[in-house]
């Protein structure tokens, strides 16, 4: 919203433009009612003091003398503003145009349905400079109308970076004049749904052919999008993946891979000079479209396998004195960093760019936890934190059986809200090099705009408050109240947020600990658990703590060695037993399966075991997240309880959380 429209926008509410931003304003006006003066503003401002009474915006709308809005350079912090609403005046002072814009956003959220604005004094400024959201437009293509709608929502939430994941195996999404096959061919795949395509042919198609699904943005569309975002103080940060996640490029231009064979590689060949010509030419065209300081070059998840035997790669390593393929990746990223720096830009990449040595001046986007980001700031560089644990919105936000299929995981609103990006272990200077936080929506399992919005909202409300509001001012209960209201506002404006009012919550078993005959008893492992899923170690299966909706919550213990769990619990004395039970979970994407066979047995001397139960189960791959108990019930005596479970035809992990003995 440009400044000249301020009065109309805030007061006369003449809705001049039909866009989602105004629809959101309308939503606020519809939902903001009620007597008590509570703040409904998201994200929570740093300082809010309500007074008595209201500024009646309606009748005063024509009298602009009651409104003052100006820059005030004594406000030191970028993007900060002060808002003073009295009964007869509204004064908005801001450090810069972004501050004015955010002051307006706050004023809109304060304005009630009858046009009244409560008397209030607000002082506000963001905690972090980078308040980001990433949209993956490769796995499923989203048009610019959708992106503008999300930009409108980001503006309301005072978020300021939209990162577009523009390239990946599933489709190239940006017009590049020098390489037309990227949009004639690499932008189109044989399969509308990512899942069918990825687990099917993984082939690309010619644009316009009946089997082609996908799309791309023209340069004009992107320039318009950049301008639209800039009007809302949002910078669009483009990501071009390298050296990996590039199957689509290497199908269109196979000569850029190590062997030159199409449909064989995900990684560019960094041994070939043509690769650098390609990447720099693409980045040159990208920089013409996007004025952002940062250009994201991906850098994640490179397999690097072909580099180990490719003569060109080996020659490059020898020439440059590189000791392994990690350093070869680092060489490529260094060169890209230099190239971007020559053009006045800075390189941003996923935390793998640390491997083999971080390029000077590069900024790390930390996704595999926050450690990569911390490593970067300790080394004097900058970081943006987007750990999968708190910022990956491709996960379930409620009970999986109530939601469409997702990537897996469980990230409810409360957990996003609880994210604290700056650990105490950092010095003040190191902490200042954490630029901010970002949420990412990967879209493998997100095929429609409605579905995408359900995944984004209200979780982005929580992330906006993590990014904007000082941690000591955060209050989950108060935020939850405001988030419920904001969901209504968003719905009224045509968005499709998750139904927060009817949130089911975590797996009921996980909510309280239990005690049983084996509680705290020693567990001997005939086969070890997987160290990455230890769930606290040797005591996990008798600690009384049950797992929630995801095996990643630190309560599920994972077994992959020979596909087996095989443990014995020592009850310390012979006891009369009536049931022995353990729950298992299945989520097929990450290869976690219910067991194909379970054997439960008991012994008095730990040598001679009597089999109590043998269960066989047909493991079926499907898209459900499943939880099932495998139990024995009856009458038996024993001191040693042995529980064995083995995986079926797909191998993978078996996970259980507790062996309950009664
Ligand atoms: C990523 O999730 N591979 C950055
Ligand atoms: Zn090579």
CB contact at 8 A, 434 and 128: yes
Which whole number is the average pLDDT over 538-546?
A: 98
Q: Is the dihedral of CA 470, 471, 472, 474 positive or negative?
A: positive
Q: Given ligand 1 and candidates 296, 301, 354, 445, which is best to mutate, with the most ligand atoms within 8 Å of its CB?
A: 301
Pairing of strands 235-242, 626-646: unpaired
CB contact at 8 A, 528 and 581: no
Which atom of ligand 1 is nearest to 300's Cα? 3
Element (H, E) at 101: helix 97-110
pLDDT at 38: 80
Q: Measured between alpha carbons, how far is 469 from 462 in angstroms, rounded to an integer?
A: 10
Across the chain, what does the average pLDDT equal? 94
Q: Given ligand 1 and candidates 239, 300, 366, which is best to mutate, with the most ligand atoms within 8 Å of its CB?
A: 300
Q: Is the dihedral of CA 407, 408, 414, 418 positive or negative?
A: negative
**3-state secondary structure (DSSP) of residue 579:** strand
What is Dmax (Cα atoms) for the chain?
93
Q: Which ligand is nearest to the CA of 265?
A: 2
Ligand 1 binding pocket includes 301 (Cβ within 6 Å): yes
Under the banding of pLDDT at 50, 70 and 90, the label for residue 378 is: very high
pLDDT at 71: 93
8-50 pLDDT, tens digit per residue, is 333 333 333 345 666 676 556 544 444 457 889 999 999 999 9
Q: Which ligand is nearest to the CA of 351?
A: 1
pLDDT at 18: 41
User: Cα torsion for 188, 191, 195, 199, to the nearest 10°?
Assistant: -100
pLDDT at 29: 55
Domain ranges (residues) in the chain: 3-124, 130-502, 508-661
Which whole number is the average pLDDT over 337-366?
A: 96
pLDDT at 20: 60
245-276 pLDDT, tens digit per residue, is 999 999 999 999 999 999 999 999 999 999 99
Ligand 1 binding pocket includes 367 (Cβ within 6 Å): yes
**3-state secondary structure (DSSP) of residue 594:** coil
| Residue with CA nearest ligand 1 atom 2 | 367
Cβ–Cβ contacts within 10 Å for residue 63, how many? 11
Residue 130 has pLDDT above 60, yes or no: yes
pLDDT at 32: 46
Ligand 1 binding pocket includes 393 (Cβ within 6 Å): no
pLDDT at 589: 87
Q: Measured between alpha carbons, how far is 288 from 599 in angstroms, rounded to an integer?
A: 64
Same fold flag, 3-124 and 130-502? no
pLDDT at 295: 98
Q: Is the dihedral of CA 367, 199, 406, 592 positive or negative?
A: negative
- What does 215-279 look like in DSSP terms, one character per residue? --B-HHHHHHHHHHHHHTT-EEEEEEEESSS-HHHHHH-GGGSSS--TTS-SS--TT-HHHHHHH
Which whole number is the average pLDDT over 323-335?
A: 97
Q: Is the dihedral of CA 339, 345, 346, 350 positive or negative?
A: negative
**3-state secondary structure (DSSP) of residue 410:** strand
Which atom of ligand 1 is nearest to 392's Cα? 2
Q: Is 301 a catalytic residue?
A: yes
Which atom of ligand 1 is nearest to 245's Cα? 3
Residue 340 has pLDDT above 60, yes or no: yes
- What does 502-550 look like in DSSP terms, one character per residue? G---S-GGGSS----TTTT-EEEESSPPPGGG-TTSTTGGGSSPPP-S-
Among residues 168, 239, 248, 566, the one annotated as catalytic is: 168
Q: Which ligand is nearest to the CA of 332?
A: 2
Least Cα distance to 543 among 552, 533, 555 occurs for 555
Q: Is 168 a catalytic residue?
A: yes
CATH number of 130-502: 3.20.20.80
The DSSP letter of residue 96 is S
76-103 pLDDT, tens digit per residue, is 899 999 999 999 999 999 999 999 999 9
Ligand 1 binding pocket includes 368 (Cβ within 6 Å): no
Q: How far is CA 358 from CA 271, 330, 376, 435, 484, in A?
A: 20, 7, 8, 17, 43
Right CATH for 3-124 from 3.10.440.10, 3.90.230.10, 3.30.379.10, 3.30.465.10 = 3.30.379.10
Global model pTM greater than 0.85 = yes
Residue 284 has pLDDT above 80, yes or no: yes
Helix, strand and coil content of the chain, in percent to the nearest 5, comes to 35, 25, 40
How much is the CA Rg of the chain, to the nearest whole Å? 28
pLDDT at 19: 56
Among residues 245, 296, 334, 382, the one annotated as catalytic is: 245
CA of 139 to the centre of ligand 2 (A): 26
Exposure string for 440-471, b = 16+ CB within 10 A, e = fewer? bbbbbbbbebebbbbbbbbbbbbbbbbbbbee
CB contact at 8 A, 401 and 624: yes
Q: Which ligand is nearest to the CA of 255?
A: 2
Least Cα distance to 645 among 580, 549, 570 occurs for 580
Helix 20-31 crosses helix 476-492 at what angle (to 10 degrees)?
120
Which atom of ligand 1 is nearest to 298's Cα? 4
Ligand 1 binding pocket includes 350 (Cβ within 6 Å): yes
Residue 63 has pLDDT above 60, yes or no: no
Of the listed ranges 4-8, 97-101, 554-558, the one predicted with least confidence: 4-8
What's the residue count for the chain?
A: 662
The DSSP letter of residue 201 is T
Q: Which ligand is nearest to the CA of 316?
A: 2
CA of 338 to the centre of ligand 2 (A): 21
Q: Is 211 a catalytic residue?
A: no
Q: How far is CA 455 from CA 259, 274, 355, 471, in A?
A: 40, 40, 32, 24
Right CATH for 508-661 from 2.60.40.1180, 2.60.40.10, 2.60.120.1190, 3.40.50.150 = 2.60.120.1190
Residue list, CB under 5 A from ion ligand 2 = 258, 269, 271, 310, 312-313
CA of 104 to the centre of ligand 1 (A): 35
Q: Measured between alpha carbons, how far is 127 from 41 in angstroms, rounded to an integer?
A: 16
Ligand 1 binding pocket includes 300 (Cβ within 6 Å): yes
pLDDT at 76: 85
Burial class (CB in 10 A: 0-12, 13-18, 19+), 50: middle
Q: Which two tokens mark 520?
A: 């705290």
CA of 660 to the centre of ligand 1 (A): 37
The DSSP letter of residue 8 is I
CA of 300 to the centre of ligand 1 (A): 6
Least Cα distance to 246 among 228, 270, 223 occurs for 270
Among residues 56, 72, 231, 301, the one annotated as catalytic is: 301
CA of 110 to the centre of ligand 2 (A): 58
């Amino acid at each position: 919203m440009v400044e000249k429209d301020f009065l109309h926008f805030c007061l006369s509410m003449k809705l001049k433009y039909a866009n989602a931003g105004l629809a959101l304003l309308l939503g606020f006006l519809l939902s903001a009612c009620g007597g008590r003066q509570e703040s409904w503003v998201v994200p929570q401002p740093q300082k809010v003091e309500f007074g008595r009474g209201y500024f009646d915006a309606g009748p005063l709308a024509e009298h602009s003398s009651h409104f003052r809005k100006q820059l005030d350079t004594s406000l030191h912090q970028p993007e900060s503003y002060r808002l003073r609403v009295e009964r007869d005046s509204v004064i908005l002072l801001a450090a810069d145009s972004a501050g004015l814009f955010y002051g307006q956003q706050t004023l809109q959220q304060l304005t009630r349905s009858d046009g009244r604005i409560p008397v209030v004094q607000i002082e506000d400024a963001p905690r972090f400079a980078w308040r980001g959201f990433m949209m993956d437009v490769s796995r499923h293509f989203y048009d610019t109308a959708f992106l503008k709608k999300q930009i409108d929502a980001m503006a309301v939430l005072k978020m300021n970076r939209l990162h577009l994941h523009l390239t990946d195996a599933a489709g190239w999404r940006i017009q590049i004049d020098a390489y037309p096959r990227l949009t004639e061919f690499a932008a189109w795949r044989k399969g509308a749904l990512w899942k069918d395509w990825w687990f099917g042919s993984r082939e690309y198609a010619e644009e316009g052919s009946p089997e082609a699904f996908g799309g791309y943005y023209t340069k004009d569309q992107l320039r318009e999008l950049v301008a639209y975002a800039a009007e809302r103080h949002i910078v669009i940060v483009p990501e071009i993946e390298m050296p990996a996640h590039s199957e689509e490029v290497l199908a269109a231009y196979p000569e850029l891979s190590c062997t030159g064979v199409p449909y064989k590689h995900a990684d560019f060949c960094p041994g070939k000079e043509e690769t650098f010509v390609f990447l720099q030419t693409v980045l040159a065209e990208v920089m013409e479209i996007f004025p952002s300081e940062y250009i994201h070059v991906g850098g994640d998840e490179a397999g690097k396998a072909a580099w180990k035997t490719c003569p060109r790669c080996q020659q490059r390593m020898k020439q440059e004195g590189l000791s392994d393929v990690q350093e070869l990746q680092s060489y490529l990223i260094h060169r890209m960093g230099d190239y971007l720096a020559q053009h006045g830009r800075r390189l941003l990449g996923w935390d793998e760019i640390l491997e083999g040595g971080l390029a000077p001046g590069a900024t790390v986007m930390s996704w595999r936890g926050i450690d990569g980001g911390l490593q970067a700031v300790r080394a004097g560089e900058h970081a943006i934190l987007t750990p999968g644990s708190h910022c990956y919105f491709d996960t379930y936000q409620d009970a999986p059986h109530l939601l469409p299929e997702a990537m897996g995981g469980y990230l409810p609103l409360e957990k996003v809200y609880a994210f604290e990006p700056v650990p105490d272990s950092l010095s003040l200077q190191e902490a200042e090099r954490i630029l901010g936080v970002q949420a990412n929506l990967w879209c493998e399992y997100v095929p429609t705009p409605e579905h995408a919005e359900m995944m984004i909202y209200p979780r982005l409300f929580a992330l906006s408050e993590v990014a904007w509001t000082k941690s000591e001012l955060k209050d989950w209960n108060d935020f939850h109240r405001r988030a419920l209201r904001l969901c209504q506002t968003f719905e009224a404006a045509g968005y499709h947020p998750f139904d927060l009012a009817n949130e089911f919550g975590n797996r009921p078993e996980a909510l309280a600990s239990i005690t049983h005959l084996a509680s705290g008893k020693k567990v001997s492992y005939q086969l070890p658990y997987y160290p990455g899923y230890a769930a606290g170690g040797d005591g996990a299966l008798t600690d009384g703590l049950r797992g929630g909706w995801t095996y990643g919550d630190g309560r599920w213990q994972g077994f992959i060695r020979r596909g087996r769990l095989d443990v014995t619990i020592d009850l310390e004395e012979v006891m009369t037993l009536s049931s022995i039970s353990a729950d298992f979970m299945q989520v097929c994407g990450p290869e976690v399966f219910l067991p194909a066979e379970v054997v439960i047995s008991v012994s008095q001397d730990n040598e001679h075991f009597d089999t109590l139960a043998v269960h066989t189960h047909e493991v079926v791959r499907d898209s459900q997240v499943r939880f099932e108990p495998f139990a024995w019930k009856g009458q038996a005596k024993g001191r040693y309880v042995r529980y064995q479970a083995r995986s079926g035809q797909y191998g993978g992990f078996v996970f259980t959380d507790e062996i309950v003995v009664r």
